[in-house]
Amino acid sequence: MEFKKRILCIGAGYVGGPTMSVIALKCPEYRVDVVDINPDRIKQWNSDTLPIFEPGLDEIVKKIRGKNLFFTTEIEAGIKAADIIFVSVNTPTKTYGEGAGMASDLQYWEKTALQIIKHAQNNKIIVEKSTLPVRTAEAMERILKASNRNIKFEVVSNPEFLAEGTAIKDLLEPDRILIGSHTDAAGTKAAQAIVDIYAHWIPRKKIITTNLWSSELSKLVANAFLAQRISSINSISALCEKTDANITEIAYAVGSDSRVGSKFLNASVGFGGSCFKKDILNLVYIAQSYGLHEVADYWNMVVQMNQYQQSRFVRKIIREMFNTVADKKIAIFGFAFKANTGDTRESPAIFITQKLLEEQAVISITDPKALGNARIDLAGLDNINYETDPYQAAEGAHAIAIVTEWEEYRHLDYQKIYSSMKKPAFIFDGRNILNHCQLFEIGFNVYPVGQPDLNHFK
Ligand code: UDX
Ligand code: ADP
């Protein structure tokens, strides 16, 4: 079949894979190739077990893979054939040199740009899909223009706002699509080519076009605002624990003001995920580099508050269990950074587990999707068991810590679990998902986040 356009995506990760699957589904007249330097990843994308778990993704991939959606390692051929190249390679926080711990490591990006220059034979639109520091497009353009062959690359920013666990829904029904480009004729034309893709299924009024820098900065700011809400509610949860106020009631009362809104106000063990911390630190770094120290400090506190919330959770476990967890078995329910994903990047579970191990606790971890990643994150550490069955994880334990808000944890037989545990039995509900009164009646000592505890010691 002759395709109207050819789209290439470089990077078959959490962003590239699902995004391209939905684009291919909705644009059958375009051929979409997804390439990656990691051959194992590509093998998985071509197998029955996809490398990432997202509700609804399997069905889409199986329907169109081999028709207009292809996963390959043929980067060179892909670049040659493509009209539009999406770049969604990883941009982790730098671990070395200038900006270490804050700025983005752009080496994968730069390598990708160099590959594009090397293999391209005609004009192309390059779309930044990875979250990137502001003015990356400019840097990208400089690299691309440095090739003195007569090829024009127009760089467009199209940040992705999908959240893991709801990626397919977010892609099919996004709140908005953001496309940033240069405002001259060539830039506007390139932006229109990207608008045309999304207009296949998204109402035009939801597709926002801006200049390049606004688009890049909007992505960082959107994530910073979301993370800020969580740190705000978590900061108040600490106050609630001192005053017997209830964070769930406060979130409801405050969130009922339509100017504030009710979403993203669930107090928790802290936020995780590959984006929030990285993007805020990026914002902080950019602000600092322009000498805007108050702006940098303001946003940095969002990250610090998140660290405080995780430390506070661990300290509470130790304090309530009579100031020692040495040789006590603690079952960690949930290791993913949020429910409905197997992703554990920046998951609070990693920090919590490490700290409890330092206190010589014996840890058993259960999670419906993230045990594989948990094993990688905790490689080399002793005194950890990995259990697929939560009942098994809790057997003989002194305490359970709920770290991820998996729906199935609400529906377990806690009477049965209580019977199998050491007494006194503790539950630390780091997500406030359980029925605390019921657990207390069973016999548990219950410690929610930002709510009065229910213990039998008083
Ligand atoms: C986020 C943004 O939502 C998304 O738009 C962007 O493209 C990528 O970053 P993601 O990291 O997948 O998505 O997950 P999100 O649902 O935003 O949750 C992030 C973290 O915040 C999770 O650890 C979650 O458990 C935590 N969270 C979320 C809370 O602790 N409380 C809340 O009320 C909401
Ligand atoms: P994200 O969450 O941003 O999608 P991931 O780490 O899940 O990040 O995915 C990024 C993907 O990009 C990885 O699969 C990685 O192998 C791939 N990648 C990195 N550099 C290159 C490159 N130069 N060419 C092709 N793929 C790359």
Instruction: Decide if 198 contacts 219 (C-beta within 8 A).
Output: no
The stretch 378-403 carries a mean pLDDT of 97
* Ligand nearest to C-alpha 228: 1
Ligand 2 centroid to Cα of residue 187, in Å, is 26
The stretch 385-398 carries a mean pLDDT of 98
Say what the pLDDT of residue 133 is. Answer: 66
Please write the tens of the pLDDT for every residue from 196-245.
999 999 999 999 999 999 999 999 999 999 999 999 999 999 999 999 89
Whether ligand 1 lies within 6 angstroms of the CB of 247 is answered as: no
The stretch 269-298 carries a mean pLDDT of 95
Whether ligand 1 lies within 6 angstroms of the CB of 338 is answered as: yes
Which residues are bridge partners to 332 per DSSP? 365, 401
Helix/strand/coil (H/E/C) assignment for every residue in 208-240 = EEEEHHHHHHHHHHHHHHHHHHHHHHHHHHHHH
Mutate-to-test residue for ligand 2 from 108, 109, 117, highest number of ligand atoms within 8 A of CB: 108
The stretch 162-187 carries a mean pLDDT of 96
Residue nearest to ligand 1 atom 15, measured at CA: 163
* pLDDT tier for residue 387 given thresholds of 50, 70 and 90: very high
| Preceding peptide of 55 cis, ω within 30° | no
- Whether residue 454 is predicted with pLDDT greater than 80 in this model: the reply is yes
The stretch 344-357 carries a mean pLDDT of 98
The stretch 398-404 carries a mean pLDDT of 98
- Whether residue 394 is predicted with pLDDT greater than 80 in this model: the reply is yes
The stretch 427-450 carries a mean pLDDT of 98
Determine how β-strand 362-366 pairs with β-strand 177-181: unpaired
Q: Walk me through the domains of the chain, giving residue ranges and CATH numbers.
A: 5-202 (3.40.50.720), 212-458 (3.40.50.720)
Please give the structure tokens belonging to residue 293. Answer: 């120290």
Whether ligand 2 lies within 6 angstroms of the CB of 14 is answered as: yes
Q: Which of 409, 405, 426 is nearest to 329 (CA)?
A: 426
Ligand 2 centroid to Cα of residue 87, in Å, is 9
Ligand 2 centroid to Cα of residue 100, in Å, is 20
- Whether residue 149 is predicted with pLDDT greater than 80 in this model: the reply is no
Sign of the Cα torsion 151, 152, 157, 158 reads negative
The stretch 432-441 carries a mean pLDDT of 98
The amino acid at 422 = K
In 120-211, which residue ranges form alpha helices assigned H by DSSP?
Answer: 136-145, 167-172, 185-198
* pLDDT tier for residue 100 given thresholds of 50, 70 and 90: confident
Q: How far apart are CA 394 and CA 418, in angstroms?
A: 8
Say what the pLDDT of residue 215 is. Answer: 93
Distances (CA, A) of 349 to 210, 285, 370, 401: 38, 26, 11, 10
Whether ligand 1 lies within 6 angstroms of the CB of 403 is answered as: no
φ, ψ of residue 49 to 5 degrees: the values are: -110, 100
* pLDDT tier for residue 132 given thresholds of 50, 70 and 90: low
Marked catalytic residue, from 9, 240, 275, 437: 275
Which residues are bridge partners to 216 per DSSP? none
Looking at 229-298, which runs of residues are DSSP E strands? none
φ, ψ of residue 327 to 5 degrees: the values are: 65, 10
Say what the pLDDT of residue 397 is. Answer: 98
The stretch 272-295 carries a mean pLDDT of 94
- Whether residue 148 is predicted with pLDDT greater than 70 in this model: the reply is no
Instruction: Decide if 194 contacts 212 (C-beta within 8 A).
Output: no
The stretch 307-323 carries a mean pLDDT of 98
Mean pLDDT of the chain: 94
Mutate-to-test residue for ligand 2 from 76, 90, 219, highest number of ligand atoms within 8 A of CB: 90
Whether ligand 1 lies within 6 angstroms of the CB of 357 is answered as: no
CA angle 140/146/149 to nearest 5° reads: 120
The stretch 138-154 carries a mean pLDDT of 81
* pLDDT tier for residue 95 given thresholds of 50, 70 and 90: confident
* pLDDT tier for residue 134 given thresholds of 50, 70 and 90: low
In 321-377, which residue ranges form alpha helices assigned H by DSSP?
Answer: 348-358, 371-377
The stretch 331-352 carries a mean pLDDT of 96
The stretch 427-437 carries a mean pLDDT of 98
Please write the tens of the pLDDT for every residue from 31-49.
999 999 999 999 999 999 9
Q: Which is more confidently placed, 2 or 447?
A: 447
Say what the pLDDT of residue 97 is. Answer: 82
Catalytic residue check, 9: no
* pLDDT tier for residue 146 given thresholds of 50, 70 and 90: confident
Of 59-73, 140-154, 184-198, 208-222, the poorest mean pLDDT is in 140-154
Mutate-to-test residue for ligand 2 from 42, 89, 117, highest number of ligand atoms within 8 A of CB: 89
pTM summary value: 0.93
- Whether residue 130 is predicted with pLDDT greater than 90 in this model: the reply is no
